[in-house]
Chain A
Amino acid sequence: MSALAPTGHDRQISELRALIASGKRKQVIFAAAGVLCTAFAVLVLIAAFLDLLIDGLPRLSWSFLTNFPSRRASEAGILSAWIGSAMVMLVTIFAAVPIGVGAAVYLEEYAKKNWITDLIEINVTNLAGVPSIVFGLLALGLFVHQFGFGEAVLTAGLTLALLILPIVIVSSREALRTVPSHIREAAYAMGATRWQMISDHLLPYSRGGILTGIILGMAEAIGQTAPLITIGALTFIAFLPPTPVTGEFPFLNFAWIWSEFTVLPIQMYNWVSRPDRAFQLNAAAAGVILLGMTLVMNGLAIYLRYQVRKKIKW
């Protein structure tokens, strides 16, 4: 072909090829840089995780989960810590879910679009960026002193609920917004009231997204330390709160919400700060448990999102 083409044309083509080649070199350099950056981030994460595993795994045993903390590192366990964490999370769920979802439904479906709504929206979004210790101070003043709840499970649960409200509200609003307007119109056209439209359609169709937001919020809450230290969580607890389920009518007992408590990250913090190396291994083991719980929650959130995407077609 080139024999037929004029020589000027040949030169044009070779210039073009040189241009493409230099463009491709830049592309390769950038791709390599990108791989390095990603590898660095991932490797640091893996190294930290492995370090934790190597230190912590040998300490993990059934008795580690069922023992109270002790002065002897080899006998110490995280029973009061993980039960404390579970109870605080329970309060957090029961407080954050109705308030968060309710606020999201109001902002998305009922609120008029005016400057007050805009102001509320900006505030909610900015709350997500407030340092968690500030929530601790707020809770110390409001729940512990003003309301007199004391340094109890209830106070801790409510504090963490406040902390994750922005996450729950923002993700719930996003989930509600994914329901297309033609579905809303279909419901209204059948004579549904606004609340019927919301309860029969919006909430069921967006429950996957809402659940995802709640779980991500819980994963955030379970690792919190600073606000709970601020409200006075104890670092050494050798007793359990009263059990919430009892053998006698009415089978539920709410005394546990007034109980003093500790949680996993605070137990870790306590052990890490001891000079004895054996306690630091305990901290690593507790860290493995905490990390495992967070991973499970995040995995559940991803699974739910995937399930809902697969199921609901508009």
Chain B
Amino acid sequence: MVSMDAAVAGRGSEPKADEQLRLRAEARSLDFYYGTFKALKGVQMPIYENKVTALIGPSGCGKSTFLRCFNRMHDLYPNMRYEGEIRLMPDNVNILAREVDPIEVRMRIGMVFQKPNPFPKSIFENVVYGLRVRGVSNKGALDRKAEQALREAALWNEVKDRLNDLASELSGGQQQRLCIARALATDPEIMLFDEPTSALDPIATASIEELVHELKSRVTILIVTHNMQQAARVSDFTAYMYLGEVVEFGETNQIFIKPAKKATEDYITGRFG
């Protein structure tokens, strides 16, 4: 296993000092409740454009809960409540507001789940589903978009000759890349990844990580991960969460090399968690 410092130094995307950071979204004193249980407490965090932001922390710390606020996934289940805001730029709209339609939010912000979850349909139908929902029915447009998304998800060469096969015939790693292509096909403004490699073997994991790294030039990425090396390898910014709070947020370099808080250091060095 690579040591933490080496992993950090190995990243090819050190934010340059003179680079302008543009805000893409921002959580402002965000609280979240499951019934009476307060799962998020005053979360305050910027999401920068074309950067990868990683959420790390022990199980149950609220990182997935936080991620699922961004596409209002919690709205599907009863007894939940948001307080505070997530502002989406550039239109500066609070996507948690009651009057904002969660469907609109989900159309702007895509998501890739922990377990690859392709529909039991053909590979092609999986990729174009988001477009079909948006009313695109022109065959040529669907074909073009499917190819583009599959290329971006580094899957085109493996599936171009069998687009009509069932998605379930693909391997786990291919299925996850198909899910990434499915999200990419609709040109999301932000993509959410909820532990996208936890069900995959190391080789498939490496290919997904590489993909995340390449995709950030096209889309802003927020990724939840259990794997500290993964956060170090793929992200530009990292937030360490514990018990529903953001303990520390900063550039990944700084978080992993000289964390400001003792609690963060204990977690990333494996003394805790």
Tell me the count of chain B residues lying within 8 A, CB to CB, of chain A.
27
Interface residues on A, range: 20 to 34
Q: Is B113 an interface residue (CB 8 A)?
A: yes
CB pair B117–A188 under 8 Å, yes or no, is no
Residue of chain B at shortest CB distance from A196: B133
CB pair B106–A189 under 8 Å, yes or no, is yes
Q: Is A26 an interface residue (CB 8 A)?
A: no
- A-B interface, 6 closest residue pairs, ranked by CB to CB distance from nearest: A191-B107, A313-B168, A189-B111, A190-B130, A186-B117, A182-B117
Determine the distance from Cα of A201 to Cα of B78 in the docked complex, in whole angstroms.
22
Interface string of B38-79 (1 = CB under 8 A from A): 000000000000000000000000000000000101001010
Q: Is A130 an interface residue (CB 8 A)?
A: no
8 additional A-B residue pairs with CB within 8 Å, beyond A187-B129, A188-B73, A191-B103: A183-B117, A186-B118, A189-B110, A189-B183, A191-B130, A191-B133, A192-B103, A313-B166
Q: Can you name 7 A-B pairs with beta carbons within 8 Å?
A: A182-B113, A186-B119, A189-B73, A189-B110, A190-B186, A191-B106, A192-B129
Residue of chain B at shortest CB distance from A192: B133
CB pair A187–B119 under 8 Å, yes or no, is yes
Given A188-B73, A190-B186, A191-B107, check contact A182 B115 (CB 8 Å).
Answer: yes
Interface string of A219-232 (1 = CB under 8 A from B): 00000000000000
Q: Is B190 an interface residue (CB 8 A)?
A: no
Name the interface residues of B109-123: CB closer than 8 Å to any CB of A: 110-111, 113, 115, 117-120
CB pair A190–B117 under 8 Å, yes or no, is no
Interface string of A100-138 (1 = CB under 8 A from B): 000000000000110000000000000000000000000
Name the interface residues of A141-195: CB closer than 8 Å to any CB of B: 182-193
B142 to chain A, nearest CB (A): 14
CB pair A190–B129 under 8 Å, yes or no, is yes
Residue of chain A at shortest CB distance from B76: A188
Interface string of B164-184 (1 = CB under 8 A from A): 001010000000000100110
Contacts of B16 in A (CB 8 A): none
CB pair A185–B76 under 8 Å, yes or no, is yes
CB pair A189–B186 under 8 Å, yes or no, is no
CB pair B106–A190 under 8 Å, yes or no, is yes
